[in-house]
Amino acid sequence: MGEGHLPVLVDEVLASLAVGPGSSVADCTVGGGGHAERLLETASPGGRLLGIDADRAAIAEAERVLARFGDRVVLRHANFESIYDTATDAGFVPLDAVLFDLGLSSYQLADPDRGFSFAAPGPPDMRFDETSGLSALELIERSSERELAGIIATFGEERRAGRIAKAIVAARTAGRIMTAAELAAIVESVAPSRHGPGARIHPATRTFQALRIAVNREIEVLSAGLAGALAALGPGGRMAVISYHSLEDRIVKRFVARESRDCIEEPLPPACTCGHRAQLRAVTKGVITPGPDEVRRNRRARSAKLRVAEKLDGRAQGGG
């Protein structure tokens, strides 16, 4: 599966999570098992890993890759918004470490039937879990021009959202959207790259990102997953999140900042009445990004940002 086997920022993740022998770890986006394999090696002997993924194909691949670890691995087909319940049912709470590697795996992009790729000959499905929810094509068919423009502007941060939505609706009305490749061509026809044919980023990138986020409820799911991971961690346990675009990174940054404070009222009152208490401390200042060597080896790493936080023991005092 090519790049799907290249875990992003793996050494930095291992160092930041401080996984050791006997650790109990959850990989909430187990994918092809790249990070999970290294985490299990580091947690040997005796460490266990709970691998979660909304994509059934990912679970099947992880099962193959991680087979040598036997019953030290438990895999669950689930969305990570249910991390707390899933980890509790599997007997993994409290956890010592939790990892989220957000975004797409290369094997998902390479599957022509999933519609994630601009060149895919199949319909634009874009669901991580193909058994539930609307596909991207169904979302397009059911949305008004205004709704599509809102999705593309909000989740894709695309300044040409109105123009793109108008073209998509016109193509839909004419029956011209059947494949992901056709959708990409429609976007490119009205929003060509500003840097010509050799541009680094395809002009449909933001539109495809927006549709994928909307279809998979990625923003809503991430917020729930972070809260669930915090609840599942034991004192001193750490969570690491690798994000690939600003929307995700902003959510992670704000979550860590909020949970690192006692009072979360705005503006801060003379005396706190909210009752909130700090539960986290940031392990890293700002974000960790991959070096040029890793980016050359793995294109998926080029936009990666890693943030890590540690759960307080309940007696420590937070800021605020």
* Domains of the chain, CATH where assigned: 2-106+218-311 (3.40.50.150), 114-216 (1.10.150.170)
Which residue, among 88, 96, 99, 98, has the nearest Cα to 22 in the 3D structure? 96
Quick one: average pLDDT of 300-313?
Answer: 92
Does residue 149 surpass a pLDDT of 90?
yes
Which residue, among 204, 177, 209, 208, has the nearest Cα to 193 in the 3D structure? 204
For the beta sheet containing 305-311, the strands, ordered from the edge strand earlier in sequence to the opposite edge, are: 73-77, 48-53, 24-27, 95-101, 233-243, 305-311, 280-282
Provide the pLDDT for residue 199.
54
Q: Measuring CA to CA, how many Å separate 84 from each of 28, 71, 131, 134, 213?
A: 11, 21, 22, 25, 22
What's the rounded Cα separation, in Å, for the pair 320 and 317? Answer: 9
Provide the pLDDT for residue 4.
46
Q: If you average pLDDT over every residue of the chain, what do you get?
A: 89
Task: Enter the pTM of the model.
Answer: 0.88
- Supply 237's token pair: 């346990």
The DSSP line for 41-99 is HHTTTT-EEEEEES-HHHHHHHHHHTGGGGGGEEEEE--GGGHHHHHHHTT-PSEEEEE
Does residue 270 surpass a pLDDT of 90?
no
Quick one: average pLDDT of 116-123?
Answer: 84
Band of residue 3 on the pLDDT scale cut at 50, 70, 90: very low
Does residue 2 surpass a pLDDT of 60?
no
Does residue 182 surpass a pLDDT of 80?
yes
- Supply 284's token pair: 């890293």
Cβ atoms of 288 and 11 within 8 Å: the answer is no
Cβ atoms of 251 and 112 within 8 Å: the answer is no
- Give the pLDDT confidence of 4-55 residue by residue, as tens digits: 457 899 999 999 999 999 999 999 999 889 999 999 999 999 999 999 999 9
Band of residue 244 on the pLDDT scale cut at 50, 70, 90: very high
* HEC letters along 226-290: HHHHHHHEEEEEEEEEEECCHHHHHHHHHHHHHHCECCCCCCCCCCCCCCCCCCEEECCCCCECC
Does residue 1 surpass a pLDDT of 80?
no
Does residue 266 surpass a pLDDT of 60?
yes
